[in-house]
């Protein structure tokens, strides 16, 4: 619907004119006392640079004058005035692509800005007409009609023209959805489908255009050597039957020379090619008019073009003139040249070919005219194998026995095997060229109006020409002449030329120059297309081809184009090159239709084409037709072209630069992600589908760099790119003050994720304190069903330091948060000793200490780790602890059976722990812990007192370690690990403990009276930690990784600092430890 704009003037105040120069000279957006270069955070928003308005180049005085807009003056840097925006839009120009004279100096072009002025007819219609009508029309269309028949030829042309029409409709929608800058069709596809598809299809389009240049050059040489100057051949056949090979070699020689000459012309300057474009187009138009004129003339005065038949076989008239066996001269009757070709002598009694002797020679009219009724004979197909006689249907012929075909007889033979799908591949290049208008969008007065109109009109015109030519050729020309590809029955003349009026040379010369011009246009356009792809930077190894001469000429791209074009010329056969470029063009057209269909179905807000006559069903039909035609033409060429495009796609995805073009594939991915998220059940997944969806908690230093990068390495090894990974971190402060630091920190985390190959998402939170920020992350990270179920964090190594008194508190509260959220928790201790992704363990063990069962996560983690190359050669061992009342032998058997059903291979060992007395070492550790706890609670003491307290704790720690050393040198005590329980051992151990318990306690308390005042719950927990640590050290000190059940924090928050001490004692002396706390739900199952 039309939109009306009303411009409302703002009345200036009466005093607005006073001291105007002074106002203009001041910086308008800087109030007094405020530095303009340091805006307060939150006052302005960082905006994306506009592609239309260049804020950096504008003069600040042009934004506003006076004080009419003082209310908005602080936002003028990011939000320009509407008048400035409209002024920039009015002066906006788009550089032309491939048609402008690149020889012009850049400075002069910048000084003299002139608006493009070409309209629909000159700018779009005629270029499309010139590119569509080409070599196939003149050299192969009559042959296609003769071989496939009028009906099947009509079907071939109709399918191909329908394909290009549907593609043109899709292309018109894309081209009118905004301005199309340099790159033309490549720009449209890449900006609609993204860099991966854009690069793949852009290179396919480039290869198609390059091979089209080879096809046009081969067509030019074929016209020259076959119809203009057959005597110019350099290589001559050495024996009979070598004519075809000699022709191919001549085409290779002449084609290479022509390619070198054309490349020189393009290198010298594209302006010469552009100036000759109208001349080449005039040749095409005159040739087509000559064909229609010849058809009209044949209705009342058909040309006299006799064709010689021997029986029903067509004869080549290159080597004889008279179509008779004998002829009458003044001296009597004599044999003809034809007699000498079929017989072993010129005498009437010579021995002749059997078929020649038994069949008569007849002459028919090669072009009987449109009113002759020959159309009925040409309706049906006449496919044949290679080397078969070209025969006229319905003509009497005396059969002969199967002969060994003698060489040198002047028959017209088929040169290749013909079938329907092959003809589709040969014909399709004749309908390409529909992108010519969109490639010239910069030169058009109104591109969004001219491109759809001109392109569709050109396709309608050319479709009419092709379809009418099919019918007219079938109605005017004899079938044997139509199937005579090189005009051998017409003394080597071009078949379509013999139909034209006033002279066959109109077609010959016109087709020669038109194909030559089309080859020059291909060699001009292809390097610029490659240059546009290279300058986008999406394919790293192509960046060298983005450079060229100082004036912008793509020199290196031209060299590569000439090299690829030479490979097509070395093929030398027009019929073999045509299907190759058909594949690349069909793939390009297929993705144009896909781009339009995707954009239409997504209904993105930016999809607002001015061209309204499109629908996603038409685009989908066009895409399907392109895909079908690819496999109809040649299934193996189609697979090869798709393989090339797929390899390019994966290469760009793996190595290419990250580009954000607002493409449809990204929108499609977002829609698919939304659809999948809505379908994912909000509740927990089934046990069989459970995998750790990890939230990685990273700590940052003062420069917003990650403190423990090995944590991300471990995440990559654990995840191997599967499932959800969220890398989170907390920045302390307020968002308004810290948004710049937050962006820097997020960028640092993303770069580290890229270096560590961690595939996931980054989420950074700015919070008033670290505790709340971590809680917010645990609660809110993820979306819908894609939420984390596991938290991975590093052990706070500095929790004992006085300058970081709250790290242990934050850690314990985070443990409680994960428990409340029913999430698993992984704590990596000594994380800086964990391996990097490049390291490889050649041997070693991953030890799992399965003390309590909390869902089976302990057994699942080593299995996941061993999928990665770092841990692949490590063996898994599972230790479990048996109590006094347990049968350790049966436990081992049960555990082995359980692991067998879980399909996990691991060594199993059951460790028995004796219930013995609590050692003095345990009491000492408990005493030190409670004293440290008291110290942490009295942090308000003076500095001197805190230092004295810390020194006291240090001395006690030293005494504790001395006790450990003394105990290690002492003879073994009953505090040891036993591997097998017997009934006698059990009874003896119980009685011994019972007898010694009272005296033991008395001795201990008499040794240090303060031990009697200790919290007995803490003593028991410390006893467990000390004993378990001793057992683990005994078995797993040399293990590459130790996984331990992580005990939960105490319910009484008063003992949080003691909890940290318990964990420290539990893991003391181990290199790499992963403390695991399950969520409580089963994560591993024995069922399928």
* Cα separation values, 76 from 27, 66, 95, 283, 903, Å: 11, 14, 29, 57, 67
Phi–psi pair at 19, nearest 5 degrees = 50, 45
Residue 56's pLDDT is what? 45
Question: How many angstroms separate the CA atoms of 518 and 280, rounded?
Answer: 8
**How much is the pTM?**
0.69
Asked if residue 524 has pLDDT above 70, the reply is: yes
796 and 827 in contact (C-beta within 8 Å)? no
Q: What is the pLDDT of residue 211?
A: 92
Token representation of residue 283: 């040749």
Tell me the C-alpha distance between 146 and 470, whole Å: 10
Query: Which H or E run contains 762?
Result: strand 761-767
In this prediction, residue 407 carries a pLDDT of 65
Between 148 and 961, name the one with better pLDDT.
148
Top mean pLDDT of 258-262, 443-447, 696-700 is at 258-262
Half-sphere exposure of 694 (CA within 13 A, CB side): 26
Give percent of the chain above pLDDT 70. Answer: 73
Cβ burial of 392 (10 Å; 0-12, 13-18, 19+) is buried
Pairwise CA distance, residues 713 & 754, whole Å? 11
- How confident is the model over 47-90, as pLDDT tens digits? 444 444 444 444 444 444 445 555 555 555 656 666 565 565 55
Sheet holding 361-365, edge to edge: 313-314, 306-310, 361-365
Tokens of 651: 């290469």
Return mean pLDDT, the chain.
Answer: 77
Among candidate residues 285, 530, 479, 258, the one with its CA nearest the CA of residue 367: 479
CA neighbor of 290 nearest in space, from 137, 141, 502:
502
Closest CA to 144 of 373, 473, 468: 473
Beta bridge mates, 343? 352
Task: Please give the structure tokens belonging to residue 58.
Answer: 């504008």
In this prediction, residue 933 has a pLDDT band, given cuts at 50, 70 and 90, of low
Determine the Cα–Cα distance for residues 1074 and 295; give it in Å rounded to an integer: 89
As given in the structure block, the two tokens for residue 883 are 């109590």
Residue 808: predicted pLDDT: 75
Q: What is the pLDDT of residues 461-503, one digit of tens each?
A: 999 999 999 999 999 999 999 999 888 888 889 999 999 988 8
Q: What percent of the chain has pLDDT over 90?
A: 18
Which pLDDT belongs to residue 151?
A: 95
User: Sign of dihedral through CA atoms 510, 514, 517, 519?
Assistant: negative
**Cβ contact 381:155 at 8 Å:** no
Give the pLDDT confidence score for residue 639 in this predicted structure.
92
- Residues 859/825, Cβ–Cβ less than 8 Å: no
For the record, the structure tokens of 24 come out as 């203009």
User: What is the DSSP secondary-structure string of 388-454?
Assistant: -B-B-TT------------TT--B-B--S---HHHHHHHHGGGG--TTHHHHTGGGBSSHHHHHHHH
User: Averaging pLDDT over each range in 276-290, 554-568, 983-997, 1019-1033, which range is the top one?
Assistant: 554-568
pLDDT in tens, 655-699: 765 666 666 667 777 777 777 777 776 666 666 667 788 899 888
Q: Which two tokens stand for residue 301?
A: 């005065």
Q: What is the pLDDT of residue 69?
A: 56
The pLDDT of residue 441 is 66
Alpha helices in 603-689 (DSSP H): 616-633, 635-655, 664-679
pLDDT for 1 equals 44
pLDDT over 90 at 883, yes or no: no
Interatomic CA distance for residues 202 and 189, integer angstroms: 8
pLDDT of residue 634: 87
Contact 894, 981 (CB under 8 A): no
- Residue among 528, 563, 569, 521 nearest 548 (CA): 528
Q: Dump pLDDT digits (tens) for 989-1038.
A: 444 444 444 444 444 444 444 444 455 566 667 767 777 888 888 888 88
The residue with greater pLDDT, 333 or 362, is 362
| Segment 838-856, tens digit of pLDDT | 888 888 888 888 877 777 7
**What is the DSSP secondary-structure string of 151-215?**
HHHHHHHHHHHHHHHHHHHHHHHHHTSS---TTTHHHHHHHHHHHHHHHHHHHHHHHHHHHHHHH
Whether pLDDT at 395 is above 70: yes
* Cα 196 to Cα 604: distance, rounded to the nearest angstrom: 20
Lowest mean pLDDT among 335-349, 817-831, 930-944: 930-944
User: What mean pLDDT comes out for the span 26-44?
Assistant: 43
Sort 149 into a burial class: Cβ within 10 Å, 0-12 / 13-18 / 19+. buried
Q: How far, in whole angstroms, is CA 231 from its chain's centroid?
A: 52
- Do residues 523 and 639 lie in contact, with contact meaning Cβ atoms separated by under 8 Å? no
Local structure of 1074: helix, strand or coil: strand
**Residue 964 scores a pLDDT above 60:** no
pLDDT of 52: 42
The reported pLDDT for the residue numbered 408 is: 73
Confidence of residue 92 (pLDDT cuts 50, 70, 90): very low
pLDDT of residue 806: 60
Between CA 1041 and CA 871 the distance in angstroms is 10
Tell the burial category of 644 from Cβ atoms under 10 Å away from its Cβ (0-12, 13-18, 19+). Answer: middle
Give which of 927, 126, 173 is closest to 600, Cα–Cα: 173
Name the 3-class secondary structure at 835.
Answer: coil
Query: Could you say which DSSP state residue 867 is in?
Result: T
Per the DSSP assignment, residues forming a β-bridge with 731 are 766
User: Which pLDDT score is estimated for 202?
Assistant: 84
CB proximity list for 255: less than 8 A, separation 6 or greater: 214, 217, 218, 221, 569, 572
Of residues 730, 808, 794, the one with CA closest to residue 768:
730
DSSP strand E in 778-933: where? 790-794, 824-829, 845-850, 875-882, 907-913
Question: How many whole angstroms separate alpha carbon 1023 and alpha carbon 1034?
Answer: 17
pLDDT, position 1061: 77
Confidence of residue 618 (pLDDT cuts 50, 70, 90): very high
Does an H or E element contain 363, and which? strand 361-365
CB 114 within 8 A of CB 458: no
Q: How does residue 867 score in pLDDT terms, banded at 50, 70 and 90?
A: confident
> HSE on the CB side for 158, CA within 13 Å?
8
Residue 33: Cβ-neighbour burial (10 angstroms; 0-12, 13-18, 19+): exposed
- Assess contact for 482 and 378: CB atoms under 8 A: yes
CA distance 133 to 288: 9
Q: Is the pLDDT of residue 198 over 50?
A: yes
């Amino acid at each position: 619907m039309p939109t009306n704009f009303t411009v409302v003037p703002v009345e200036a105040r009466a005093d607005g004119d006073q001291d105007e120069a002074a106002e203009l000279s001041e910086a308008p957006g800087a109030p007094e006392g405020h530095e303009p270069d340091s805006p307060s955070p939150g006052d302005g928003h960082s905006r994306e640079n506009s592609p239309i308005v260049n804020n950096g180049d504008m003069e600040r005085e042009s934004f506003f004058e006076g004080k009419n807009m003082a209310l908005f003056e602080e936002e003028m840097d990011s939000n320009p005035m509407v008048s400035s925006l409209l002024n920039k839009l009015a002066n906006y120009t788009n550089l032309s692509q491939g048609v402008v004279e690149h020889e012009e100096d850049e400075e002069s072009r910048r000084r003299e800005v002139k608006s493009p002025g070409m309209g629909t007819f000159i700018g779009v219609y005629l270029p499309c007409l010139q590119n569509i009508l080409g070599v196939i029309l003149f050299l192969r269309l009559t042959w296609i009609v003769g071989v496939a028949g009028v009906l099947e030829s009509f079907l071939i042309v109709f399918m191909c023209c329908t394909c290009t029409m549907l593609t043109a409709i899709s292309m018109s929608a894309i081209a009118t959805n905004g301005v199309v800058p340099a790159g033309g069709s490549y720009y449209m596809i890449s900006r609609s489908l993204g860099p991966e598809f854009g690069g793949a299809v852009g290179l396919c389009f480039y290869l198609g255009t390059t091979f089209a240049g080879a096809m046009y050059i081969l067509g030019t040489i074929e016209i020259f050597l076959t119809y203009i100057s057959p005597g110019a051949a350099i290589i001559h056949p050495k024996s009979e039957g070598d004519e075809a090979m000699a022709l191919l070699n001549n085409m290779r020689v002449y084609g290479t020379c022509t390619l070198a000459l054309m490349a020189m012309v393009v290198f010298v300057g594209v302006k010469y090619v552009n100036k000759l474009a109208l001349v080449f187009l005039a040749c095409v138009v005159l040739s087509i008019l000559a064909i229609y004129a010849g058809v009209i003339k044949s209705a009342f005065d058909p040309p006299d073009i006799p064709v010689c038949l021997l029986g029903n076989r067509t004869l080549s008239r290159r080597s004889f003139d008279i179509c008779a066996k004998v002829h009458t001269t003044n001296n009597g009757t004599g044999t003809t040249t034809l007699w000498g070709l079929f017989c072993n002598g010129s005498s009437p009694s010579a021995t002749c070919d059997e078929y020649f002797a038994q069949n008569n020679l007849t002459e028919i009219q090669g072009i009987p005219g449109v009113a002759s009724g020959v159309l009925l004979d040409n309706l049906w197909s006449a496919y044949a194998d290679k080397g078969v006689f070209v025969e006229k249907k319905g003509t009497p012929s005396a059969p002969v026995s199967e002969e060994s075909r003698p060489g040198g007889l002047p028959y017209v033979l088929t040169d290749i095997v013909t079938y329907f799908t092959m003809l589709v591949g040969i014909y399709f290049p004749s309908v390409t060229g529909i992108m010519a208008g969109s490639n010239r969008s910069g030169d058009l007065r109104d591109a969004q109006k001219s491109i759809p109109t001109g392109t569709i009109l050109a396709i309608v015109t050319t479709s009419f020409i092709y379809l009418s030519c099919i019918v007219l050729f079938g109605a005017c020309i004899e079938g044997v002449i139509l199937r005579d590809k090189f005009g051998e029955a017409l003394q080597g003349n071009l078949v379509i030329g013999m139909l034209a009026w006033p002279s066959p040379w109109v077609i010959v010369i016109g087709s020669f120059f038109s194909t030559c011009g089309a080859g020059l246009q291909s060699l001009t356009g292809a390097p610029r297309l490659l240059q546009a792809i290279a300058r986008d930077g999406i394919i790293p190894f192509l960046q060298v081809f983005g450079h060229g001469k100082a004036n912008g000429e793509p020199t290196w791209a031209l060299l590569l184009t000439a090299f690829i074009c030479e490979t097509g010329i070395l093929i030398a056969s027009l019929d073999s090159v045509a299907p190759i470029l058909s594949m690349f063009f069909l793939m390009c057209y297929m993705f144009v239709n896909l781009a339009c269909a995707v954009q239409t179905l997504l209904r993105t807000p930016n999809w607002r084409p001015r061209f309204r006559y499109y629908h996603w069903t038409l685009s989908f039909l066009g895409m399907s037709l392109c895909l079908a035609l690819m496999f109809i033409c040649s299934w193996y060429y189609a697979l090869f072209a798709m393989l090339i495009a797929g390899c390019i796609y994966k290469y760009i995805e793996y190595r290419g630069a990250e580009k954000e073009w607002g493409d449809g594939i990204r929108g499609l991915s977002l829609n698919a992600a939304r659809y999948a998220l809505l379908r994912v059940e909000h509740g927990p997944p089934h046990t069989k589908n459970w995998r750790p969806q990890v939230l990685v908690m990273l700590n940052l230093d003062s420069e917003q760099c990650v403190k423990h990068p090995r944590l991300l390495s471990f995440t990559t090894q654990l995840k191997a790119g599967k499932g959800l990974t969220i890398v989170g971190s907390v920045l302390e402060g307020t968002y308004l003050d810290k948004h710049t630091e937050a962006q820097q920190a997020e960028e640092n985390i993303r770069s580290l994720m890229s270096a560590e190959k961690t595939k996931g998402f980054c989420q950074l939170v700015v919070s008033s304190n670290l505790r709340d920020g971590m809680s917010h992350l645990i609660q809110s990270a993820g979306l819908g069903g894609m939420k984390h179920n596991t938290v991975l964090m590093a052990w706070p190594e500095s929790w004992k330091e006085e300058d970081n008194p709250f790290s242990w508190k934050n850690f314990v509260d985070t443990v409680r948060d994960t428990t409340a959220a029913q999430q698993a928790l992984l704590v990596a201790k000594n994380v800086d000793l964990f391996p990097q992704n490049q390291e490889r363990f050649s041997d070693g063990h991953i030890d799992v200490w399965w003390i309590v069962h909390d869902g089976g996560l302990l057994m699942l983690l080593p299995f996941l780790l061993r999928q990665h190359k770092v841990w692949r050669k490590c063996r898994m061992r599972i230790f479990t602890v048996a109590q006094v009342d347990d049968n350790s032998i049966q436990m081992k058997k049960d555990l082995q059976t359980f692991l067998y059903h879980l399909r996990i291979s691991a060594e199993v060992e059951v460790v028995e722990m004796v219930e013995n007395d609590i050692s003095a070492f345990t009491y000492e550790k408990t005493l030190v812990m409670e004293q440290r706890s008291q110290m942490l609670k009295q942090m308000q003491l003076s500095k001197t007192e805190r230092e004295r307290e810390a020194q006291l704790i240090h001395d006690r720690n030293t005494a504790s370690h001395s006790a450990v050393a003394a105990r290690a040198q002492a003879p073994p005590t009953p505090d040891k690990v036993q591997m097998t329980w017997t009934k006698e051992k059990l009874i003896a151990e119980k009685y011994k403990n019972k007898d010694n318990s009272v005296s033991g306690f008395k001795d201990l308390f008499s040794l240090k009276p303060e031990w009697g005042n200790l919290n007995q719950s803490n003593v028991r927990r410390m006893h467990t930690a000390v004993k378990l640590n001793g057992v683990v050290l005994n078995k797993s000190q040399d293990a590459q990784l130790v996984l331990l059940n992580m005990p939960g924090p105490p319910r009484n928050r008063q003992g949080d600092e003691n909890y940290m001490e318990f964990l420290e004692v539990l893991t003391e002396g181990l290199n790499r430890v992963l403390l695991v706390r399950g969520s409580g739900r089963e994560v591993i199952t024995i069922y399928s």
